[in-house]
Structures are given as C-alpha cells and as structure tokens.
Chains A and B, each alone.
Chain A
Amino acid sequence: MENAVVVVVGADKPGIVAGISSELASHKVNIVDISQTVLRGIFAMIMIVDISESKMPLSELRKKLQERGKELNVEVLVYHEDVFRYMERI
C-alpha cells in the first residue's frame, strides 16, 4: 500500500466531502481514513488515501484535487505519507 495525505482547508459545508471523494474515486484512489480538525482557525478535513491503484503520479493527482478544490472554494494540500512517517516517527 502507498499512501498520501490530503488536507482540505475551508468552510464545513455540504458537498465538500462528496466533491473531493468523487475526484479521488475517479482516479482509483481509495480513502483509508478520514478525520477533521482545525487549521489556521478554520475547518480542515484530513484524509489518508491509498494511491497504489492509481496510475496517476502524485503531482498530477495534486493538480486535479486543487482544481476541484477551487470549484468548491477550499484549499487542498497533498503530501506523500513518507513525509509524515519520516518526521513523526523514529
């Protein structure tokens, strides 16, 4: 399994989860886990996604998700899971 972390920052309103998850599904990216928190004082959704079935490089997926985020009026940040594994685990 190869994972990435998707963080969606923006107002908590209907349609955001659906919008982002349908974009992920269309590129064969599976949501492994989802939670919510607050970043910069605003609502943020954190998704761990499995990108191993996706044919698309992570840089392309980031672009697609950010385009979708623009339509939904939210900011989307995408990082490879290794970054968190390296920085938060010994």
Chain B
Amino acid sequence: MKYSADEIIEVVRMLSEEDLDIRAATLSINTLPFVSDEPTKVLNKLDSLNPVLEKFSSSVEKVSEKYGVRIVTKRVAVTPVQFFLEPLGQDGGIKIAEKLEDLAESNRVDYIGGYSAFAERGFTKGSSAVMSTLAEVMNSTKRIAGMINAASTFTGLNSEAVRRFVDQIFMMKPEASARVAILSNVPPDSPFLPSAHSGLGLPEMSVNVAVSGPGVIERVIRKASPSSLEELHDLIKRTAFKITRLGELVGKAVSAEMGVEFGSVDLSLAPTPKVGDSVAGIIEAMGIEKVGAHGSLSALALLMDAVKKGGSMATSHVGGLSSAFIPVSEDSVMSERASEGYVDFYTLLALSAVCNSGIDMVGVSKKQGKDKATGLIMDVLTLGVTLNKILGVRIIPVEDDPGSMIDLGGLMGKVVVMNLKNANVEKFVSLKGYVPNTVKRLETG
C-alpha cells in the first residue's frame, strides 16, 4: 500500500473526529471597474457578479464533496467600498451594502467583506463616508463585513479614525459590531473576516483559504506528551505542515474549478466555540493550567513559531494574517478563562505581541464610556505600528456591566464583558491629529 494504515487513520481522525476543516474559502474580486459617479450604474454593474458568485459557490461545494473535506464558509472579498464612495459620498454606501447583501444571499455566499476604508493619516470623502455609514450598514445587514485600517507602520496612527470608529460601534447591535474591526497594517489578501477585502496589487480574481485545526494540534500534544521544548516544537511543526497542506489542496482545487488564480493560504490557527477546537486549549495542553497564567506568552510564541515554520513548508502561497486568532468568545477555553479572571485586556495585549489576535470578540460596557475603549484600541494599534505587525480590535459594546456574559450563538459564541481600567484618559485620547510614524518607518528607506 502506498500509505500505511497509520497514516491513513491519522488523516481520517483529523477530518472526522478532530474538527480539521477549511474555515473559509474566500474569492477576492477586483470591483474597481464598477466605480461610477452614478449610483444606478454601480448597482447595475454589481449585478454582473451574480454568475461569478454562483460559480464560486458551486465550485466550493463541488470541491468539498469530491475530497470529503468540510468547507465551513464561503466568502467574497470586494475592493474597499471607500473607492466607490469617493465620487458618491455616503448616500451610495447604504445602496451598495444592500446590493452586496442581496448578491450574497441569492448566491449562497455566507459573507461579503469589503465595507472598508483606509484612514491611517486622514480622511478622504470616500473613507469618511464609509466611516459615517458603518453603524447603519452593519445594523441593517447580516452578511456584510468591514474594517477600517486606522494605522500603519508606514503612515502612522489616526486617532480621529479610532474615535469615529468607537462612535459607530457604540450605535451597533452586538451581532453587527462582530462584523467590523479596526486594524493596523491590514494585508490585501486576508480570507478572514472582518479584514477580508480585495486589496491593491492582486489579480482580477483569486481564491484565498483559511484552515482551522487547533483541535488537531491540541490532541497531538496531549497524546505524545513531549518531554522537551524541542520535541514539542517539532511535533507542532509537523502537524501544522499537514493542516496547511489541506488548505493548499483545497485552495488550488477551488481556483482550478473557478478558472482563476490561487491566491494564498492563511496559516492562522482559528478556533470555533465547539469544545476541543480551541487555540487556548493548545496552550493548556502545553502545560499551562489556565491560559493567561505566567508562561502563556512564551508558550504562544513557541506555538506560533512552529506553526509558521511547518506552514511555510506546506505552501508557497502564504497570505492573510498567518498567525493565530484568539477571538475570546469564539474560543470556548478562552471565554471560560476570561470569565474566571485569568484573561483580561492586558493579557490579550501581551499575547498580541507574538500573534495576530489583538483584542478580538470581547465585550465592553457602554457604561464605562467611549474614551477608555478608544484608549484600548490605540494601545493595540500602537503595538501593531511599533512591532510592524497586523493587529486588530473587534470589541462588542453592550449595555451590560463588566463581568457579564452574552451568548451571541453559533460561531460567535459567548461574549465576556471585560473591565476597562477605571481611570480618566479623556485628555490623551481627545488630542487631535495623528500619531506620527515611528523610526520603524525609516528602516525601510
């Protein structure tokens, strides 16, 4: 036999028992040719995407059935809506969002990402219009996602963008705020939401995939119980290779079926609220009793390095964020540790130094005010700018008190409302202008 029984059973176990699957297949489409100063023209041109989206959905379904591999979500990333709103202003935003929602719904696409804008140094008519309509758009749709890139190592950090973002998310329903994020250094080819958009420099169309297999890594560690750090690193690296290869296979197959270019695989580990599908679970399997305890950062850094080394061997097309997401509500162990007090905002900030998590899917109480949330976001984006990393914040403002838990259901899980430090930061976060780009920028010259 070409494969040993053990090799076959290993793969079968990963796919049938340990929740190894493709988290998302994301079709990136250049929609710039649809830009016009007449809204009806834009909407009519967007209609031409119907057959493309239909073909994408059926290609994903076909590949999933052929290989026997689950592809959990089908997503589409469009050119940032900012470019459409440069000539149209904010009235166009709502209409475009409604059209995109219709396109997704009628073609079995779970989400469309790209209600997005870039505002690291300041606002244009288009980016300002995206920002002003974010709450209205997210509250009135279910499948649209968006991001604001408010900081970059190249350009700096726009504090006004952060304040306006906080104003918007404070007007959103919890389910709506889960579809928007504010980022630093956003990549052009992320298959994950809310960061997914069709960025500059990409071909007309390409397929990017995201894999999800934290459960596989956790179980390998628990079973082998390695006795040295090298052994632990090697074990993770080998497993990450296998997980990423599945992404490479599916990405190439969907691209071939669509007749478009294969974009990239995002190596990131991504959890689901299901028990045994948790990134925090891996840290705990490594010997940290409760994630957030001292040693967690070191364990996460080792995990990330091994995932990247194994993953980069498995695909020549690395893209997206390619690290680890630890959206607190979407990770059952993380959510539990947050409610027990082992994980707070500062723990998440520290962890962000070695992965891409940022502050993701955490509740904040509206009673604590907007300034503290603004300060929190500025901290994460500053870390991104200073370390030259992709980092983001996706917080869920709610009426409840810190310490409460809100069940959003499905993939979004249980949101823990974390306590923001109770001191006044109004003066600093209200300062006008932007934080200048750092000396990191000069290293590129």
Contact = CB atoms under 8 A, between A and B. Distances in A.
Interface stretch (B123-131, B243-251, B433-441): B243-251
Contacts of A62: 65, 68
Contacts of A80: 66-68
Contacts of A33: 1-2
A57 to B, nearest CB: 7
Contacts of B12: 7, 39, 77, 79
A77 B16 contact: yes
B8 A7 contact: yes
Given A82-B67, A82-B249, A87 B5 contact: no
Chain B at the A interface: SS class: helix
A5 to B, nearest CB: 6
Contacts of B65: 57-59, 62
Nearest to A82: B249
A79 B12 CA distance: 9
11 contacts: A7-B8, A37-B6, A37-B8, A37-B9, A78-B68, A79-B15, A82-B249, A83-B15, A86-B249, A88-B11, A90-B313
A66 B384 CA distance: 50
Interface string B1-31: 1110111111111111100000000000000
Contact of A87 (B2, B245, B313): B245
B69 interface: yes
B219 interface: no
Contact of A83 (B1, B2, B17, B249): B249
Interface of A: 5, 7, 33, 35-37, 39-40, 44, 46, 48, 57-59, 62, 77-80, 82-84, 86-88, 90
Given A46-B5, A46-B8, A87 B67 contact: no
Interface residues of B, number: 28
A35 B5 contact: yes
Given A59-B66, A88-B242, A5 B249 contact: no
A90 B10 CA distance: 16
Interface of B: 1-3, 5-17, 62, 65-69, 242, 245-246, 248-249, 313
A15 B15 CA distance: 27
Contacts of A82: 67, 249
B13 A39 contact: yes
A46 to B, nearest CB: 5
Contacts of A40: 17
Contacts of B3: 5, 48, 84, 88
A15 to B, nearest CB: 22
A40 B12 CA distance: 11
Nearest to B20: A87
Contacts of B313: 90
A77 B14 CA distance: 13
A31 B248 CA distance: 28
Nearest to A34: B1
B68 A77 contact: yes
A10 to B, nearest CB: 14
Residue of A40, A62, A82 with most partner-chain B CB within 10 A: A82
